[in-house]
Amino acid sequence: MKSKKTKVILGMSGGVDSSVCAYLLKKQGYEVIGLFMQNWDSYLNNDFLGNVNESKQTCNVQKDFNDAKAVADKLGIKIYRVEFIQQYWDKVFKYLIQEYKKGRTPNPDVLCNKYIKFNEFIKVAKNKFHCDKIAMGHYANVKKIKDQYYLTKAIDENKDQTYFLCWLNQEQLSKTIFPIGNIPKDEVRKIAHEQGLDNWNKKDSTGVCFIGERKFKDFLNNYLPIKKGKVIDIVTKKVVGEHDGITFYTLGQNKNLGLGGQQNKYFVCKKDFKKNIIYVVDQNNKEKYLSSTKCEVVKFNWINKNQKKSAKVKIRFRHRQELIDGKYEIKNNKVILTYKPTIAVAPGQFAVLYSNKKCLGGGIVNKLI
């Protein structure tokens, strides 16, 4: 009697990564079903300002689905569509706006993975398709050692996405396959080309998770009001410009400050909400006003149990940031990080910890100490 194939539900976006995942999974003998997610609707969500593709929004979603379907048809697998528009708004986007209102620097991609791609998606896989295994085109790996699942970095360090997966738990990892975690990006495109997949050279998606590229300040203005105020050089105390609203600027930002005509290159170093003032600092004084060595992290998710109370680690505060030498210490359910002097660590960012190839987990920077 022929053994039944293991069924896996694959998130297919129409991009090259998930397409190659479909090919590899089928080659490995899985029964593959594609599932295309739509998590954002510009018309329902009043997304007009800053939307460079506003007139094409529906067409873009349909084009991505058509690309995914073309791959599915070529490989002989079924593909379905699912919408998580309301869930994305409730679990991810509301948080994004709330954090910006507080003047913080959020990362919606971490929440998108936690609550949508590896939660709502898993529910559909189980309830509709009666399948306990899912696959995603992330550059990451899952390794099982005894009774624990470990999240480890991709072989392609430049594409590694474990930073965005730091809030996943054991149950989510136990159900997940990352087929391209051990394949460099160039090789992924080569495989797609060799297999005759039409999207082998398709541009990688960028911008906010499932929303895409936006003129970000204008985009936020759909949901946050403009309130102009002064931009002041923190060293000279001179007014050097005018801002459109504190919520639209992040610590360390040096682009789109609207400070034309200034000889110095300025960086946002402080925001005074009560007075509605943004303080900036020039290149020569950046280290003094933007560097930090210690911070408090809250809502920390330890991917694996039995962590030490303190240990030396590598730290990353931004995706693709060079890993920073540091140490963590657990105090009163908070994680205190000390690290080498680092520019522009900002409240709201995710601090993600690593030990060799393992991602230990991550949490939200609450304040600098």
Among all residues, which ones are annotated catalytic? 112, 209
- Please name every residue paired with 339 in a beta bridge, in sequence order, or none if there are none: 326
How far apart, in whole angstroms, are the C-alpha atoms of residue 91 and residue 115? 7
Question: Structure tokens of 25?
Answer: 């999974």
Which has the closest alpha carbon to 345: 266, 270, 251, 280? 251
Q: Give the type of residue at 315.
A: I
How far apart, in whole angstroms, are the C-alpha atoms of residue 32 and residue 114? 23
How far out from the chain centre does Cα 34 lie? Answer: 22
How far apart, in whole angstroms, are the C-alpha atoms of residue 74 and residue 70? 6
Helix spans in the chain (H): 16-27, 57-75, 85-88, 94-101, 108-111, 121-127, 170-174, 185-194, 216-220, 286-290
